[in-house]
Amino acid sequence: MNYPRLVLMALFVLYGLIAFKHVKANEPAGYQGGAAEVYTAAAPGPGVVEGVSIPDQEYAPPSRAVETVSSRSGISDCSRYHLAATLTSYHFKRDPDYNERNYGLGLECTFTRDWRGHAGFYRNTFNRNTTYAFASNTPWRLGPWKVGYVFGAGTGYTHAVDPVAGGFLIREWKDFGINVAVHPAAIALQIKWRLQK
């Protein structure tokens, strides 16, 4: 089985789900249809097009029709990247055979204020290599911390690919940040560096 390809496919599916969620959540009241209908209706300008009334504020020139839909969705093509280093974990059930030096590297992509995508690898609890693809949402605030949840899939545990879900906390400064994942079995720590200024 080609694990890297499977994980990449999972990441694309997660991105698609995030995009769909935001597009549906940000559609104008009474809007029915997709980008093609907005483009067709908006092209000639305000007024009436084939018996359909187009409010002035909904008008967009043809060259900006796709841009208009994109701006409504709140989706950006990774507005910020971080290089994330997985460091360590603490297991609630103490076992001397568990590996808690979970070194690895990954890439984090920020889509919106609260939604992020994560992909990479690390050395897991059982001293096996894990490749992962996650999505996280942090809609709540606890002081300077962003609080939410993470979900996705990883290799190297019980099955070829296992689902993963848990709590997620993020603390970010200008160029540096910390990710804390809270799983029913353990707490894991990542540090990260912003790649572009």
Together in a domain, 92 and 37: no
Q: Which residue has the higher pLDDT, 37 or 182?
A: 182
**Does one domain contain both 163 and 111?**
yes
Residue 126 carries which DSSP code? T
Same domain for 55 and 42: yes
Q: Please tell me whether residue 15 adopts helix, strand or coil conformation.
A: helix
Kindly state whether residue 107 falls inside one of the protein's structural domains. Answer: yes
| Whether residue 97 sits in one domain with residue 65 | no
Dig out the tokens for 197 from the structure.
């200024």
Domain co-membership, 87 together with 106: yes
User: What percent of the chain has pLDDT above 90?
Assistant: 58
99 domain residue, yes or no: yes
With 90 as the cut, is the pLDDT of residue 147 above it?
yes
6 domain-assigned: no
Are 172 and 81 contained in the same domain? yes
Percent of the chain exceeding pLDDT 70 equals: 61
- For residues 83 and 113, membership in a common domain is answered with yes
Q: What is the CATH number of the domain that holds 185?
A: 2.40.160.20
Domain that holds residue 92: 76-194
Q: Which of 73, 106, 141 is at the close of a domain?
A: 73
Q: What pLDDT is stored for residue 33 in this prediction?
A: 47
For residue range 25-65, list pLDDT tens digits in order: 555 555 454 444 444 444 455 554 455 544 544 444 444 44
Write down the residue that tokens 């690895």 correspond to: 104
CA torsion, ordered 121, 165, 9, 194, to nearest 10 deg: -50
Asked whether residue 5 is assigned to any structural domain, the reply reads no
- Does 130 lie in the same domain as 63? no
Of 87, 166, 162, 167, whose CA–CA distance to 122 is shortest?
Answer: 87
Q: What angle do CA 152, 186, 101 make, to 5 degrees?
A: 95
8 assigned to some structural domain: no
19 belongs to a structural domain:
no
Residue 88 and residue 169 in one domain: yes
Please choose, from the candidates 125, 116, 55, 64, the residue with its C-alpha nearest in 3D space to the C-alpha of residue 90: 125
